[in-house]
Structure 1
Amino acid sequence: VRGTPGYICPMFARRMGRYSSANDVFSLGVVLAEIFTGMLQNCCLDGEDVDMFDRYSADGMEKRDLEQDADISAGDWDEGVCRDFARLAVECLSLNPGN
């Protein structure tokens, strides 16, 4: 499997490298979550590594609300924009982002 750890779609990794455009959608979700939160994938936060999939995806382990973690240093988010941006990122972070 090739790619940057944390940006590879879990389903791609499990299928032993069968590539589809869903892999790019998942990676986009990681980047959108990074932009939205101001945190980098695999960064250390409070002594633990941040994994955007586990932290925010409905398929992940933590299932945190991405909208609640909007980067406050980015200024005031319009409520609708904040909700839509977070929803898009979370949809891209699913196990089957191609759906």
Structure 2
Amino acid sequence: MDTLRLIWLEAFVEAVDRGSYSKAAKVLDCDPGGASRYVLSLGEWLGPQLTHSGTTCLTLAGERFIPVAREVVSLLREARNAHRSPKPSPAPVLAKDLKI
């Protein structure tokens, strides 16, 4: 498995920060089992298990990785939001610029 998915990182961060897969699932618009599977997939991609089985309690590897995951998610959200922000309005046409 070579592809890392942003949703895996988001699920990990949300589950840990909110303390449950159910609460994370509401934010992510998925079912709690989906949020849990995303975190498991992230652990498989990364190597070590990030949370203790069936919980959002971090393993040592999870404790080491959560700051990195938070930073990556934050940076990607900022980049996405910067590109989604409204485009600047065109400069207004002044009456003096009109040719009547």
- The TM-score with structure 2 as length reference comes to 0.30
Question: Which structure has more helix as a fraction of its residues?
Answer: 2
Q: Which one has a bigger Cα radius of gyration?
A: 2
- Give the structure, 1 or 2, with the largest relative contact order (CA under 8 Å, sep 6 or more): 1
- The TM-score with structure 1 as length reference comes to 0.30
